[in-house]
A and B are shown apart, each in its own frame.
Chain A
Amino acid sequence: MNFPILSSLILLPTVGALFLFFTKDKEGNNSTAKYVALFSTIVNFLISIYLWISFDQSTSNFQFVEDRTWIEGFINYKVGVDGISILFIILTTFITPLCIISVNNSVKNRLRDFLIAILIMESFMIGVFCALDLVVFYLFFEAGLIPMFLIIGIWGGPKRVYSAFKFFLYTLLGSVLMLVAIISIYWISGTTDVIQLYELGIDAKYQNLLWLAFFSSFAVKTPMWPVHTWLPDAHVEAPTAGSVLLAAILLKMAGYGFIRFSLGLFPFASEVFTPLIYTLSVIAIIFTSFIALMQEDMKKLIAYSSVAHMGFVTLGIFTLQQQGIEGSIIQMISHGLVSAALFLCVGVVYDRMHSRMINSYGGIVAIIPKYSILFMLFTLAALGLPGTSGFIGEFLILMGAFKDNFLVAVIASLGVILGAAYMLWLYKRVVFGKLVNEDLKKMFDLNRSEYLILSCLAVPTLLFGFYPDPLINTIEVSVTDLINMHNTNIASK
């Protein structure tokens, strides 16, 4: 076996966290802790880039597979990546260091603990995206919520307890059902190894129930309508870095889960439940867009827009068209970059003015021009302007959806109009207009670290808008084979 690159990706942040745990805080000086965290996450990012470079794009087989016995005859610690998962790993390793840089201003107390939570979370997230055993996946998937729960509960805003509780209640419901489903799969098939399950297939008569159990977990975390109401509350209370991680990475676990498990393991059930997914996705896109229009809190607005964007993702996945699934994956990556950036943008003004209310701003373009330009860029990416990554995702999804179902595509396309309305209106109310609030004049423009973070997010947003080939080439073969496998399964019945 070669060098266990995936395991090192998973473990490295944890090692960093351990370091932090055993170092003593000097009074009022947390820079060492930050450097340790930053160092381990950046090294992790570089490793993941190396992983991407050495990844073979011409096959859909899992690569860099590690297989160790964990519990004899029951669970194997098995990890590996294919074209679909590798992008999510890179997204995770890319976003985390940016989060760590961003905690400068927003987290005042117990910074060291905060960093530990972020690092542990990175480990779990990477674990989710490369786990090839259902039990291992489940463990990472659920464990990833604990640091998030703590981040909201400890460093959150005034209503943090309510939000953390709501977050927990929703996710708990889904998790329990998924665990039951995984145990049943073990009883039915005798294994929880994903690759073997792909080959064996699961008896069609069990698929519907199992699919629903997985769905209940994924739907909550996506989040799909109507189990989305935890997200706005969680975002509003979470500190900036928490919101960024939540929006950029945590939400993607479910989308990834839909592709890897719901589609891969339960092809028949996926066909059966496609109308359900379509309905919920379309409702999510339209309803939450209207709701976003009326928000007064910037973070809530972006949270609701996230629900709408994730509605596009679930829609695209279940079109089972090449364009639809590829669009969904690109949309997830793009949303990871753009929503992260938007939450950071809110964080920037929040750090200065301590208000997230839209009406306390207005007319700041002349005061903080650099910020305004970058904020504009991400606003445009969020509304899916061609030339940004948001467009590629949305357009491919709708193209795929149109092939499968006219009505769904038409309604979902309406979301594009609404998206323009609520994003531009938000931007106008915050940045343009007359300067009414005199306090705003004291605001200073982006400092170096903020500028760095937002630029780091802006580059791929634009790059993949004009040249999405690196993304598409990586996923192309895996998606093709996934669809082929699905179609053979359906045909064989």
Chain B
Amino acid sequence: MELSIIFLPLIASIISGFFGRYIGDRNSEIVTSALVSISALLSIHVLYQVIVNQYEENIVIATWISSGSLDVNWSMLIDPLSAVMLVVVTSVSALVHIYSIGYMSHDPHKPRFMAYLSLFTFAMLMLVTSDNFIQLFFGWEGVGLCSYFLIGFWFKKESANAAAIKAFVVNRVGDFGFALGIFLIFYLFGTVNYSEVFQQIPTVVDKNLFFLGFEVNAIDLVCFLLFIGAMGKSAQILLHTWLPDAMEGPTPVSALIHAATMVTAGVFLVVRCSPIYEYSPLVLNFITIVGMTTAFFAATVALVQTDIKKIIAYSTCSQLGYMFFAAGVGAYNVAMFHLFTHAFFKALLFLGSGSVIHAFKDEQNINNMGGVWKKLPYTYALMIIGTLALTGFPFLSGFYSKDAIIEFAYLKGNTTGYYAAGIGIITAFLTSIYSWRLIFKTFHGEYNNKEIKIEETHESPLVMLVPLFVLSIGAVFAGFLFKGLFIGHGENLFWAESIKFLEPLSTEHPPLWFLLLTPCLVLLSIPIAYYFFVKNKELPNSIASMNKPLYNFLVNKWYFDELYDVLFIKSSKKLGLFLWKFCDGTIIDGFGPDGISSFIKKCSIKATKFQSGFIYQYAFVMLLGFSALLTFLIVK
């Protein structure tokens, strides 16, 4: 039964991908949605078993690689951590499958799309249920591949193709670190299985290595390298540039891959490796800093973007930053909790924005929307729920998870902790502002679209609204219902061995003023945003024109793309040309084969000059030779 959770999506993908042409669009959609839904139900059952019966199992499916001392199995590990991920992945995936039936109804390549979605689900499940690092890597690259396919799904669009390649290659940069981390783990422990590695960690705590001329602690290095992989996949600052561009893909893809599941794989990796990370305070601090920087950076950029999907993409980036700094302060369970709630409300927001885009016939610029809340009542209401949950409105899911992150950062009690908590609060305020900006500009104010008449905008069909509705239930109640289970105090029964705390988390509470600060800011931000983006619309523009450099800096996303273009892309091309034309062409060929042959040619041309055919020349040379010989003999 457990295995069918993983393999049903694969079967769905094969059916739809290879036989979609024969069974037709509608059947492909039904088959894939049904099989993934079954898989989701089974996952919920497994999670239930884990919660109630402390069910744990490590199923070995087959051997994969066994070379010398390296033994890797295809396996399925079920423990609390993977059970939670199973539910997140399969349930969001099932809903996105169903939603896509409506969203992609005008697309000619439906079976292919559904096949990719199912294949992605399979790869993601392989990732989360692995019991070793190499199968994890398989899933890791597998989801990257599906993401590549889906971003570039509309293959005629030049920008979509570019974004797809960018996503894959930037992720490869992260994977480079990740792979090195795996090599180092194998070097240190002689195995890549989680349980064996985690067992041996305490024995190498004080081991130092000479790595590229530096002496570093082995554990620190492992943690750092693995985290580079996590940064790539979870779009953390420096390796984040692919995520906004990934919005070129169809919106259901953005909801599933670039919000709820794949991008959280990095967080999952850090939490899964908590038995290693706990021994590396240095890298944990680094993670906190990267996390909060990303959270802040992405929120500032989201403030000024005009593409509805890019705003939500930067928001995702920012929320992932929150999860990382939760993990960085050692609150892995809180990171997982936020991952869990975030999956619901962010998928809801993305699918909701998909519904808006659908209504406006593929318009994504929020400046060309507005005033349609009466026309799209359900979408509007559901988007409001998603926004409230995201911003951490009291008693919705984001309230529990995000505020818990800020609290735990505060309770950490060191400089990075306080700093992170401060940035966390500021970012929460910014989050609220940009989220409401999106809502107000999309649904309120005047109708600004010149191409479509307001009468032509229409509410989405039921097949799209029902998944939204289900997600909104999650967005409202997931925090309240699962708070005790995920981040409850006490013995921490639920996570059992799957998350390791070297020292138990603090059970104190921060002062009351601190607890109230974030919710107050969040509440306050709604009228502020209303004033700025509905009442007095000229104000944001005049602020922007007053601070032109800052505004440009934000609009251009802190100029990361431009910087990378100069640093990496252009210079790689130049280097490639140089190595090709100059090194290979001029130097190697010039002195090698071409040089030798032209040298021999020259010599032989010279040599032919001796054969002039004139007797007197020959006679002269003979005479010279003869006299030289004679001289030699006489002198000797």
In contact, B576 and A290 (Cβ under 8 angstroms) = yes
Report if A434-B156 is in contact (Cβ < 8 Å); known contacts: A290-B576, A414-B176.
Answer: yes
Q: How far is the CA of A321 from the CA of B70 in the complex (A)?
A: 12
Digit string of A415-451 for contact with B (CB within 8 Å is 1, else 0)?
A: 0110011001100100111100000000000000000
Report if A413-B180 is in contact (Cβ < 8 Å); known contacts: A229-B584, A386-B137.
Answer: yes
Digit string of B58-92 for contact with A (CB within 8 Å is 1, else 0)?
A: 00001111111110000000000000000000000
Q: How far is the CA of A391 from the CA of B148 in the complex (A)?
A: 18
B588: which of A165, A229, A290, A409 is its contact (CB, 8 Å)? A229
In contact, B155 and A365 (Cβ under 8 angstroms) = yes
Stretch at the interface among A84-92, A107-115, A464-472: A464-472
In contact, A323 and B593 (Cβ under 8 angstroms) = no
Stretch at the interface among A132-140, A261-269, A398-406: A398-406
Any chain A CB within 8 A of the CB of B142?
A: yes
Report if A402-B183 is in contact (Cβ < 8 Å); known contacts: A293-B572, A421-B169, A434-B158.
Answer: yes
Digit string of A455-467 for contact with B (CB within 8 Å is 1, else 0)?
A: 0000000000011
Q: How far is the CA of A161 from the CA of B559 in the complex (A)?
A: 51
Q: Please name the residue on chain A nearest to B148 by beta carbon.
A: A424
Any chain A CB within 8 A of the CB of B152?
A: yes
Any chain A CB within 8 A of the CB of B597?
A: yes
B180: which of A169, A322, A410, A420 is its contact (CB, 8 Å)? A410
Q: How far is the CA of A166 from the CA of B585 in the complex (A)?
A: 13
Q: How far is the CA of A291 from the CA of B137 in the complex (A)?
A: 28
In contact, B575 and A469 (Cβ under 8 angstroms) = no
Question: B137 — which chain A residues lie within 8 A by C-beta?
Answer: 386
Any chain B CB within 8 A of the CB of A371?
A: no
Classify chain A: how many residues form its interface, as a range.
35 or more
* Central interface residue in B184, B580, B583, by most chain A CB within 10 Å: B580
Report if A166-B593 is in contact (Cβ < 8 Å); known contacts: A290-B572, A416-B172.
Answer: yes
Question: B173 — which chain A residues lie within 8 A by C-beta?
Answer: 417
Report if A387-B180 is in contact (Cβ < 8 Å); known contacts: A170-B593, A407-B212.
Answer: no
Question: A472 — which chain B residues lie within 8 A by C-beta?
Answer: 65-67
Question: A469 — which chain B residues lie within 8 A by C-beta?
Answer: 63, 66
Digit string of A157-169 for contact with B (CB within 8 Å is 1, else 0)?
A: 0000000011001
Any chain B CB within 8 A of the CB of A363?
A: yes
Question: A434 — which chain B residues lie within 8 A by C-beta?
Answer: 156, 158
Q: How far is the CA of A410 from the CA of B183 in the complex (A)?
A: 10
Q: How far is the CA of A378 from the CA of B172 in the complex (A)?
A: 18
Any chain B CB within 8 A of the CB of A121?
A: no
Is the contact region of chain A dominated by helix, strand, or loop, or is it mixed? helix
Digit string of B165-184 for contact with A (CB within 8 Å is 1, else 0)?
A: 10011001101100110111
B141: which of A295, A365, A386, A476 is its contact (CB, 8 Å)? A386
Q: Please name the residue on chain B nearest to A404 by beta carbon.
A: B187
Question: A392 — which chain B residues lie within 8 A by C-beta?
Answer: 65
Q: How far is the CA of A114 from the CA of B515 in the complex (A)?
A: 82
In contact, B187 and A402 (Cβ under 8 angstroms) = yes
Q: Please name the residue on chain A nearest to B171 by beta carbon.
A: A420
Any chain A CB within 8 A of the CB of B592?
A: yes
Q: How far is the CA of A464 from the CA of B576 in the complex (A)?
A: 33
Q: How far is the CA of A165 from the CA of B593 in the complex (A)?
A: 9
Q: How far is the CA of A414 from the CA of B597 in the complex (A)?
A: 36
Any chain B CB within 8 A of the CB of A104?
A: no
Any chain A CB within 8 A of the CB of B138?
A: yes
Question: B179 — which chain A residues lie within 8 A by C-beta?
Answer: 395, 398, 413, 416
* Central interface residue in B63, B573, B576, by most chain A CB within 10 Å: B576
Digit string of A280-316 for contact with B (CB within 8 Å is 1, else 0)?
A: 0000000100111111000000000000000000000
Any chain B CB within 8 A of the CB of A237?
A: no
In contact, B593 and A226 (Cβ under 8 angstroms) = no
Q: How far is the CA of A256 from the CA of B525 in the complex (A)?
A: 69
Question: A402 — which chain B residues lie within 8 A by C-beta?
Answer: 180, 183-184, 186-187
* B-contacting residues, A226-241, CB 8 Å: 226-227, 229-230
In contact, A433 and B156 (Cβ under 8 angstroms) = yes
B165: which of A403, A428, A480 is its contact (CB, 8 Å)? A428
Question: B66 — which chain A residues lie within 8 A by C-beta?
Answer: 469, 472
What is the CB-to-nearest-CB distance from A130 to chain B, in angstroms, rounded to a whole number? 24
Any chain A CB within 8 A of the CB of B616?
A: no
Report if A387-B138 is in contact (Cβ < 8 Å); known contacts: A410-B212, A433-B155.
Answer: yes
Q: Please name the residue on chain A nearest to B62 by beta carbon.
A: A467
In contact, A293 and B141 (Cβ under 8 angstroms) = no
Q: How far is the CA of A421 from the CA of B171 in the complex (A)?
A: 11
* A-contacting residues, B543-572, CB 8 Å: 572
Q: Please name the residue on chain B nearest to A469 by beta carbon.
A: B63
Question: B67 — which chain A residues lie within 8 A by C-beta?
Answer: 322-323, 326-327, 396, 472, 476
In contact, B64 and A467 (Cβ under 8 angstroms) = yes
Any chain A CB within 8 A of the CB of B497?
A: no
In contact, B142 and A326 (Cβ under 8 angstroms) = no
Any chain B CB within 8 A of the CB of A380?
A: yes
B584: which of A169, A291, A323, A425 is its contact (CB, 8 Å)? A291
Q: Please name the residue on chain A nearest to B177 by beta carbon.
A: A413
Any chain A CB within 8 A of the CB of B520?
A: no
Any chain A CB within 8 A of the CB of B589?
A: yes
In contact, B69 and A322 (Cβ under 8 angstroms) = yes
Question: A409 — which chain B residues lie within 8 A by C-beta?
Answer: 180, 183
Question: A406 — which chain B residues lie within 8 A by C-beta?
Answer: 209-212
Question: A399 — which chain B residues lie within 8 A by C-beta?
Answer: 70, 182-183, 186
Question: B145 — which chain A residues lie within 8 A by C-beta?
Answer: 380, 385
What is the CB-to-nearest-CB distance from B96 to chain A, in angstroms, rounded to a whole number? 23
Any chain A CB within 8 A of the CB of B466?
A: no
Any chain A CB within 8 A of the CB of B579?
A: yes
Q: How far is the CA of A466 from the CA of B138 in the complex (A)?
A: 10
Q: How far is the CA of A387 from the CA of B140 in the complex (A)?
A: 12
Question: A428 — which chain B residues lie within 8 A by C-beta?
Answer: 152, 161, 164-165
In contact, B576 and A293 (Cβ under 8 angstroms) = yes
In contact, B584 and A403 (Cβ under 8 angstroms) = no
Question: A322 — which chain B residues lie within 8 A by C-beta?
Answer: 67-69
Question: B152 — which chain A residues lie within 8 A by C-beta?
Answer: 428, 432
Any chain A CB within 8 A of the CB of B621?
A: no
Question: B148 — which chain A residues lie within 8 A by C-beta?
Answer: 424
Q: How far is the CA of A480 from the CA of B588 in the complex (A)?
A: 38
Report if A420-B186 is in contact (Cβ < 8 Å); known contacts: A322-B67, A386-B142.
Answer: no
What is the CB-to-nearest-CB distance from B132 to chain A, in angstroms, rounded to a whole number? 13
In contact, A385 and B579 (Cβ under 8 angstroms) = no
Q: How far is the CA of A480 from the CA of B69 in the complex (A)?
A: 11
What is the CB-to-nearest-CB distance from B572 to chain A, in angstroms, rounded to a whole number? 6
Question: A395 — which chain B residues lie within 8 A by C-beta?
Answer: 134, 179
Q: How far is the CA of A166 from the CA of B590 in the complex (A)?
A: 12
Q: Please name the residue on chain A nearest to B179 by beta carbon.
A: A413
Q: How far is the CA of A327 from the CA of B183 in the complex (A)?
A: 14
What is the CB-to-nearest-CB distance from A138 to chain B, in angstroms, rounded to a whole number? 23
In contact, B172 and A417 (Cβ under 8 angstroms) = yes
Lowest 3 A-B CB distances belong to which pairs?
A: A322-B68, A294-B576, A402-B183
Seen from chain B, the residues whose Cβ lies within 8 Å of a Cβ on chain A are: 62-70, 134, 137-138, 141-142, 145, 148, 152, 155-156, 158, 161, 164-165, 168-169, 172-173, 175-176, 179-180, 182-184, 186-187, 209-212, 572-573, 575-577, 579-580, 583-584, 588-589, 592-593, 596-597
Seen from chain A, the residues whose Cβ lies within 8 Å of a Cβ on chain B are: 165-166, 169-170, 226-227, 229-230, 287, 290-295, 321-323, 326-327, 363, 365, 380, 385-387, 391-392, 395-396, 398-399, 402-403, 406-407, 409-410, 413-414, 416-417, 420-421, 424-425, 428, 431-434, 466-469, 472, 476, 480
Given contacts A386-B138, A416-B172, 12 further A-B contacts (CB under 8 A): A169-B593, A293-B572, A321-B68, A322-B67, A363-B155, A396-B65, A399-B182, A407-B212, A410-B212, A417-B172, A417-B176, A432-B156
Can you name 26 A-B pairs with beta carbons within 8 Å?
A: A227-B592, A291-B584, A294-B576, A322-B67, A363-B155, A385-B142, A386-B142, A387-B142, A396-B70, A399-B183, A402-B186, A403-B187, A406-B210, A406-B212, A407-B212, A410-B212, A416-B179, A417-B173, A421-B165, A424-B164, A425-B165, A428-B161, A432-B161, A433-B156, A467-B62, A480-B68
